[in-house]
A and B are shown apart, each in its own frame.
Chain A
């Protein structure tokens, strides 16, 4: 049996009578990159936020490294790193000061230059955060989330709004984070991103997980059901799996 670092059981979030996250269960293996895919409003971000201990869990449970999230949120915060959807920093702050600030939040002191070097920003150490491009801000944010060497790293749509170069750069970065032994859980809209990066993906729709496997297996399974692409007879990619499962209807 695989060593599961994150275990989620019957996780539920209700807003009024509507179940935004509807009793989902899954496990994330230590050291893997785990993707959560789904259309807007599927409950991806809410799921992450509950596991990150910043949103109340209405039903079920989540644990990280055998620590229950609802019972010990403060302990959880020491072992996770969180990359928000659109990272922002207070302006008039230098990059190295951002690193100082975040390490101080964990009560630790790190070498800011070294942290910035790991995301290729050491030359910008003395610049203000407002002078960064979108991709640079993402990288700074990643460095800031990793100052305390977390066990699990959450990324919410890390490449949304980035240009293709910045995206590929970020993929490399995520792979290098995995190499350090950090488990990565990310959400994304981009299916080729999930296919490229993730060891396993869960596909969510309407608060439920409707498929969970490696991208390769999901595609194989779809093909096994006799799926054929219209033009390229022999090929299918994860996007087909996605659309097949969640439907083509446009949701905002």
Chain B
């Protein structure tokens, strides 16, 4: 037993050392998910605000119209496409859904008619039938803005009005989903893509067969690899976590110990898939198609890139059983909802169940050459 521990410790230590010397491995395991984090983080940064892509075509010479255009360009709600100057161009772009709507200020818009001291006119909002809702909302927003301007010029009373009030309870923002999804993606990467590439290569070079001539046991080799990969995985996750806290204001609500334990369990489970695939495959050609078959559903259905609540219910039910889903859910529950070990028992149970199945298969199908 003591000898076994020494064997495992030595293999695990040298595996981990080798990883940190390998720039390519560091790139794919640590830097690559970080790049995803920054891309997705930037995409979800201005969450909560609605904005419209519009073309603004001004056919009027009035100073009011000019002023309106300037204001619209600096508006946060309107993203004015400066490249589009004619209605035909705009229609073309709307057809391709590049634009949500087009606002046209017709000739004479904002002119001050004789006998009054305020500008008048009618702005037209053009839209495509497939974007009706967006255009109507936009029209509503414009109407509101005009109402404010109208009120400055013509006094009128508003007996009925609507005001919005926030409930003050923080709901999950999009980055919270992005974060747990990316951690899931990172664990899938280091757990499956790594070993699926490494083991067939080791077999091809006869390195594993060489170990087979020594008393090294499959389980010792597995345990050593799980330990080193778990260690490396913690580094990758820590890099993602620290970047998220620093750059995207992620708030860690749960306990760090729970988080680390859960991450280790997740890596253990997912790495088992890589061990099974890589350990079974005799060469890369055998490994690649099967690993795609296994990882693609998880990549798209486990909530890594888009939240599962966007899926139809039947798909949510099925995808809930994929091994990566409890990983993504558990991380979100711990980090953004502050749940403890007891609350994530369903996720841990599912992971342990999968681990049992996966490792039994991995032991059965492993071959040294």
Q: Are both chains from one complex? A: yes
Residues of A within 8 A of B (CB): 52-54, 74, 77-78, 80, 82, 84-90, 92-93, 97, 100-102, 104-109
Given the known A-B contacts A107-B4, A107-B7, are A86 and B206 also in contact in the complex, defined by CB atoms under 8 Å?
yes
Interface presence of B202 (CB below 8 A): yes
27 contacts between A and B (CB under 8 A): A52-B213, A54-B209, A54-B212, A54-B368, A74-B215, A80-B213, A82-B210, A82-B213, A84-B213, A86-B206, A87-B206, A88-B206, A88-B210, A90-B202, A90-B207, A92-B18, A97-B14, A97-B17, A100-B10, A101-B14, A104-B10, A104-B11, A105-B11, A105-B211, A107-B4, A107-B6, A107-B7
**Across the interface, which residues of B come within 8 angstroms of A109, CB to CB?**
6
B22 touches A92 (CB 8 A): yes
Asked if B3 is an interface residue, CB under 8 A from chain A, the answer is yes
Inside 8 A of B4's CB, which chain A residues have their CB?
107
> What residues of A have a CB within 8 angstroms of the CB of B205 in the complex?
88
Bound CA span A86–B204, Å = 11
B216 at the interface (CB under 8 A from A): yes
Residue of B nearest to A154 (CB): B213
- Size of B's binding interface in residues, CB under 8 A: 25
Decide if B213 touches A88 in the complex (CB within 8 Å).
Answer: no
Measured in the bound complex, the distance between the Cα atoms of B4 and A80 in whole Å is 19
| B209 close to A84 (CB less than 8 A) | yes
Report the separation of the CA atoms of residues A77 and B202 in the bound assembly, to the nearest whole angstrom: 20
Chain B residue numbers with a CB within 8 Å of A100 are: 10, 14
Check B214 for interface membership: any CB of A closer than 8 A: yes
Q: Least Cβ distance of B227 to chain A in Å?
A: 14
Q: Which residues from chain B sit less than 8 Å from chain A, CB to CB?
A: 3-4, 6-7, 9-11, 14, 17-18, 21-22, 202, 205-207, 209-216, 368
Q: Chain A: interface secondary structure?
A: loop
Flag if A107 contacts B215 (CB, 8 Å). Answer: yes
- Across the interface, name the chain B residue whose C-beta is closest to A78: B215
Determine which of B9, B18, B210 lies in contact with A84 in the assembled complex, contact meaning CB atoms within 8 Å: B210
Q: Are A105 and B14 in contact (CB under 8 A)?
A: no
Chain A residues whose CB sits within 8 angstroms of the CB of B212 once the complex forms: 54
- Given A54-B368, A74-B215, the answer on whether A87 and B11 have CB atoms closer than 8 Å is no
- B10 CB contacts on chain A under 8 angstroms: 100-101, 104
How far is B217's CA from A77's CA once the two chains are assembled, in angstroms? 11
User: Could you tell me if A88 and B214 are in contact, using CB atoms closer than 8 angstroms?
Assistant: no
Q: Say how far B250's CB is from chain A's closest CB, in angstroms.
A: 33
Among A54, A90, A106, find the residue whose CB has the most chain B CB atoms closer than 10 A: A90
Nearest CB in chain A to that of B204: its residue = A88
Inter-chain CA distance A89–B208, complex, in Å, is 9
Residue pair A90, B215 in contact (C-beta under 8 Å): no
| Closest chain A residue, CB of each to CB of B216 | A105
**Closest Cβ–Cβ distance, residue B199 to chain A (whole Å):** 11
Contact B213 A77 (CB under 8 A): yes
Cα distance, A233 to B251, chains bound together (Å): 93
- CA of A97 to CA of B18, assembled, Å: 10
Most chain B Cβ neighbours within 10 Å, of A92, A100, A102:
A92
Give chain B nearest CB distance to A56 CB in angstroms. Answer: 13
CB atoms of A77 and B17 under 8 A apart: no
Residues of B within 8 A of A106 (CB): 214-215
* Residues in B neighbouring A108, C-beta threshold 8 A: 3
Partner of A107, one of B3, B202, B213: B3
Residue of B nearest to A128 (CB): B21
Q: Which residues of B contact A74 (CB under 8 A)?
A: 215
- Not counting A88-B206, A105-B211, a sample of 12 additional A-B residue pairs whose C-beta atoms are within 8 angstroms of each other reads A54-B212, A74-B215, A80-B213, A88-B205, A92-B21, A93-B14, A101-B10, A104-B6, A104-B9, A104-B11, A105-B215, A107-B6
Pairwise interchain contact A101-B11, C-beta atoms closer than 8 A:
yes
Shortest Cβ distance from residue B194 to the other chain A in the assembled complex, whole angstroms: 14
How far does the alpha carbon of A106 sit from the alpha carbon of B217 in the complex, in Å?
Answer: 10
Contacts of A90 in B (CB 8 A): 18, 202, 207
Q: For the complex, give the distance between the alpha carbons of A214 and B21 in Å.
A: 50
